[in-house]
Amino acid sequence: MLFAMICGFGEVEDVPDLWVQHQVSLCEDFVHRYSEQTGPHYALADIEELLTSYNLSLQKLHLPTVDLPASVLERVNFDVVEEQAK
């Protein structure tokens, strides 16, 4: 969530570089929950969902796009909404 807020409000010169620098930390929970290969995709899907509230997207910020089936992304987005409600 903090990464999306920084992208939405901060004046980050190089968002892709920020992603590369902090990717391991940002993906850690997703890697433990899913796998080393798919964890970063789930993290990016989570970030993408949060970026929409700032009228931003991964593509607009020149970040890697998510490579997961739509049915999986719906579950990821649901989890994000559920976590925000807590």
* pLDDT tens-place string over residues 2-17: 999 999 888 889 999 9
Q: How far is CA 15 from CA 2, 6, 12, 70, in A?
A: 13, 9, 6, 25
* Domain annotation covers residue 80: no
Rounded to an integer, the average pLDDT of 27-46 is 91
Nearest Cα to Cα of residue 49 among 37, 66, 36, 62: 66
* Domain annotation covers residue 43: yes
Query: What is the predicted pLDDT for the residue at 59?
Result: 95
* Domain annotation covers residue 29: yes
Q: The whole model's pTM is what?
A: 0.76
9-46: b (≥16 Cβ within 10 Å) or e: eeeeeebeebbeeebeebbeebbeebeeebbbbbbbbb
Domain membership of residue 24 as a residue range:
12-75
* Domain annotation covers residue 1: no
Q: Is the pLDDT of residue 31 over 80?
A: yes
Domain count, the chain: 1
* Domain annotation covers residue 56: yes
